[in-house]
Structure 1
Amino acid sequence: MIVHLLLGASATITAIPMILFFYIALGYSFINLFNIHAKERPRFIAEIIIYFASFEALGRLAGSDPYIPYELGKYILLFLCPLGIVLNRNVSGKGMIGLIILILSIPAVLFDESGQVTFNDIKFNILGLLNLGVAIWFFSSLNISLKTLINWSKLMVFPIVSVLIFTIIRTPNLDEVEFTLGANFATAGGFGSNQVSTILGLGVFVFAVAILLNYRISGVKWIDAALLGLFTIQGLLTFSRGGMIGGFFGVFVVMFYLTKLSIKERLKLRIPNFKKYILPLGVLLVIVMVAANAITGGMLLLRYMGETQGTLAGSAEKNLNKITTNRSDIFLEDVDLFLDHTLLGVGVGASTYLRNEYKGYAPHVELSRLIAEHGILGLIIFSLFILLLFINKARAPESISKGIILAMFLIGLLATFHSATRTYITPLLIGISCVTIVSNKKGNSKKKPQRPKRQTILASKNEIIAAASEESPSLY
């Protein structure tokens, strides 16, 4: 935690320490990849993807491109997921959905109805979809325990802590910040507030779930609570709503499924009575939101109510397009393109140049981009995402697994409605949600009975290491 706090702070001055750390850690990870047992390599590749892809946001904020590429997460997913597929060779039905998505995405790359699409346009719009395909294919081939899934969330959140520290340090004195009813770049570290809000919202989700399940990310409960408060207030102050709404929604999904967890399941998973954490967590979040609204002079609440300067002054009508910052009208124009080019769409990247009123605007909603640029094939692709959601839900072994998997999938999916697939968040979270969680019964059926506590304590060093590597039902 200290290392990542320092990385975020140093990146506000120079990107060099972060770049050096990134490549040293990445190189060391690949050395370890070939020193571990072959059966462990697919899981280890997944952990490399989760951790290093999460440096994308910090790299963008620190301006480290090309040393840490602007779309780092997309490149890591695109190159390492196929490697994991080759090493694992475990084919599943969900994996085939990822392969079908890859195949269906190809035709729209081959033509351009606008005549203006560049290679960068194609790369910008297609990489996210390709990432989704390979991530679904690879992660669905993995069988992991619930404990491993929890540990993955820690890997994912450490680089996000660096982003938090960067944005806090780069934020000017709040008395000097002019809060209006639009996105605020000053509180987003000087970068795109929509993307930063998505990252910070994910941090809110991970730390809130850590508190609910009573496990530690930093190692100290009050530090985790403090970081949750900082993630919440900084995310709210970006005035970009989508990412924060997604994070809060994910927390509510997990809470809903926790209420369905039986006492027997809770004891089996060694999960404490989470209900005693709901009230403190709720109070903390309410206090933070009230404080953020006070800091902004009440503008934060108006922003989340969908107000703009025009609607407050009475010069503009408050409608869906105003509330969604023009996204609904862009969506409708994309639908018109779909109706005119239903079969194969207008081609990847071409929708930007073919709209009428919003010509030149990059796609913000992945669903409308899919149908406009890929036609009926894009509609099939999105339908496969929804099918995947129900498959993941049905195959999760118990309530807590269902809650976490569904929350991750929905956070990733919701991000496509305000940021398309601009960040690594969508393919990574949807990919992770496709893993197979091995239930306790299934995971322990072939194992020898565990030693009594005294024998475990007196075990040799090698036995302790071997025991620690086994999948355990404990979340701790």
Structure 2
Amino acid sequence: MNATKIVNHPLFFVLFHVGVGLLATAFRPAMIVYFLFVVAYFLYRIVLLPDKQREVLIAAAYMVGAEVFFRMTKAYFFYETGKYMVILFLVIGMIYQGFKRTSLTYFIYLLLLFPGVYVSFLETEYDDKFRQNILFNLSGPICLTVAAMYCYGRTVTLKQMFTILNFMVYPIISMTIYVYFYNINIQAVITGTASTSATSGGFGPNQVATVLGLGAFILYSRFLIPYKNKLVHLVMMFWLMALSHRAIITFSRGGVFVAAAMMGVFAVILYFLSNVRTKFKLSYRIIAVAGGVLAIWLFSVLQTGGLIANRYTNKDALGREKSDITTGRAKLIDADFQAFTESPLYGIGVGRAKSYYEENLNTRIPSHNEVSRMLSEHGSFGIIALLILLLAPLISKMNGRKNIYFFPFIIFWILTIAHSSMRIAAPAFIYGLSLLNINYGKKENTVHRKQIGTEG
């Protein structure tokens, strides 16, 4: 094996990113330099290598996987840098390759959000804080618009899709290493059943669990469709268990539930696309997954002294049942609907839901539900915008687009924005990936039956 093959081998990338995680643990400021290196490296590849589409999607996928890791290690100069980098890579891709006219539907979605900006402008003082608030709230929708416009109508091979997803997982491995070493003694830092930054690398457990859950799903999909190299497969399955364990230990349930939903849907899709022989193989693998989940769960229960079981059964540290399983989020959703009834046409304005909660609920908790917030802040325009996001991919699917990840990715997008809003770039970019058409390389009647379970 020559040097080029070694550097491009999945095991090299895994070992490299284990090293990055250890470096972040030993000397966190080094991540600033590493972030700059990553940006320069991918820009170099996009500009100089001929397959622009592949390089753009890999660069964006890597930044999506690395976003929370870079946030927790203070590598970013600005909090939303991850989204800006994803947007930058995809815009460069559109400069080189253009975009489909039919993808302009997503530009209409973005335009529908601007009346809410105008309402917010009328209601608040225009200053630096106003601009920051608008950018913070619209960075997610802008990222989604760019991702959707770039991906819509494009075709990748199944092997290319696997490569894109691998590059999303690599930095999540680095983050997992960092999170493990951030607090090795779990029992010493867990005092209750609330989600905690102490087991999430010192960062927001909601975001950490979401990314870990996404990484676990990607590796789970490769458990059902194994890597060709058996050693690579074994190594990646080890990381599947590690990511799953750390997602549970954050005590943040949203990311875990979303990953479980994606896994269930993906298994059903694969099962019905397979022939009888492959169905038997999938059945054994799914049984193995069930055994692995049970083992990880029992280990997590023992590690947390049973507190994680209380968390998932909606009980406090003493075993008493909590009154609100939504941890106060249901009240915020009710407030969003109330705000919508008060301003049904234009909404109350971008970024003004938080102040509405303060006035009506006496709470400063920000909304975690992008769907209800779209109604309160954007009114009827928000409803139309949501309908575009829901209907456009379904129409694309009905028009013959083939993507084995379509439904799991759509589920990730809608459930993630419902429990974690669009605080990270992942739901926006994953939504874009759902719009890709996958070329399986064989006639449609033999595509899945031969490749499922054998593709590397």
Normalising by structure 2, we get a TM-score of 0.87
Aligned-residue offset at 1:293: 1.6
Matches within 5 A, 1:216-295: 219-263=231-275, 273-295=281-303
Gap change, CA 1:389 and 1:299, over 3 Å in 2:
farther
CA contact (8 A) 1:412 1:429 kept: yes
Shift of 1:291: 1.5
Checking the alignment, whether the CA contact within 8 Å between 2:32 and 2:74 is kept in structure 1 is no
**What secondary structure does 1:176 align onto?**
helix
Q: How does 1:168-247 map to 2 (within 5 A)?
A: 168-215=180-227, 219-247=231-259
Amino acid corresponding to residue 43 of structure 1 in structure 2: R
Q: Deviations over 1:136-192 (max 9, x none)?
A: 111114211122111111010000111111100002412312241211221101111
Mapped partners of 1:421, 1:439: distance in 2: 32
CA deviations 1:243-280 (Å, max 9, x no partner) are 111111111111000111132997xxxx9933332222
Counterpart among 394, 398, 402 of residue 394 in structure 1: 398
Alpha-carbon distance, 1:216 to partner: 6.4
The Cα of 1:92 is off from its aligned counterpart by 5.1
* Residue identity in the other structure for 2:136: F
Is this contact kept in 2: 1:193–1:239, CA < 8 A? Answer: yes
> For the Cα contact (< 8 Å) 1:392–1:433, is it kept in 2?
no
Which amino acid in structure 1 is aligned with residue 115 of structure 2? P
> In 2, Cα distance between the equivalents of 1:19 and 1:442?
47
Q: Secondary structure at the match of 1:34?
A: helix
Q: 1:468: which partner in 2?
A: none
**What is the letter of the counterpart of residue 79 of structure 1?**
L
Change (3 A) 1:54 1:216: farther
Give the structure 1 partner of residue 9 of structure 2.
none
Change over 3 Å in CA distance of 1:368–1:99 after alignment to 2: same
Distance change in 2, residues 1:397/1:275 (3 Å)? farther
Residue 29 of structure 1 is aligned with which of 35, 42, 65?
42
Distance in 1 (alpha carbons) for counterparts of 2:350 and 2:229:
41
Structure 1 unaligned spans of 5+: 444-472
Question: Would you say 1:89 and 2:102 are equivalent positions?
Answer: no
Q: Is the 1:236–1:292 Cα contact (8 Å) retained in structure 2?
A: yes
Distance in 1, Cα, partners of 2:277 & 2:399: 17
Structure 1 residue 65: deviation in Å?
3.0
> Which portions of structure 1, spanning 4 or more consecutive aligned residues, are displaced by more than 6 angstroms?
none
- Kept in 2, the 8 Å contact 1:345–1:372? The answer is yes
Relative to total residues, which structure has the larger helix share, 1 or 2? 2
Aligned residues: 432
Q: Alpha carbon RMSD of aligned pairs, Å?
A: 2.8
Among the aligned pairs, what percent are the same residue?
Answer: 25
> Contact 2:61–2:168 (CA<8 Å) still a contact in 1?
yes
* Cα 1:219–1:33 shift into 2, 3 Å: farther
* CA spacing shift, 1:405–1:252, aligned 2, 3 Å: same
The counterpart of 2:341, out of the listed 313, 319, 339, is 339
State the alpha-carbon separation in 2 of the partners of residues 111 and 89 from structure 1.
Answer: 33
Which of these residues, 10, 19, 29, is aligned with residue 6 of structure 1?
Answer: 19
Distance 1:391 1:307 in 2: 43
In 1, Cα distance between equivalents of 2:410 and 2:227: 22
Candidates 360, 365, 390, aligned match of 1:361: 365
**What is the alpha-carbon distance in structure 2 between the residues aligned to residue 174 and residue 89 of structure 1?**
49
Q: Which runs of 5+ in 2 are unaligned?
A: 1-13, 445-452
Secondary structure in structure 2 of the residue aligned to 1:381: helix
Contact 2:63 2:86 in 1 (8 A): no
Distance 1:410 1:358, change over 3 A: farther
Once the 2 structures are TM-superposed, how far is the Cα of residue 393 of structure 1 from its aligned partner? Answer: 4.1
The alpha-carbon deviation at position 335 of structure 1 amounts to 0.8
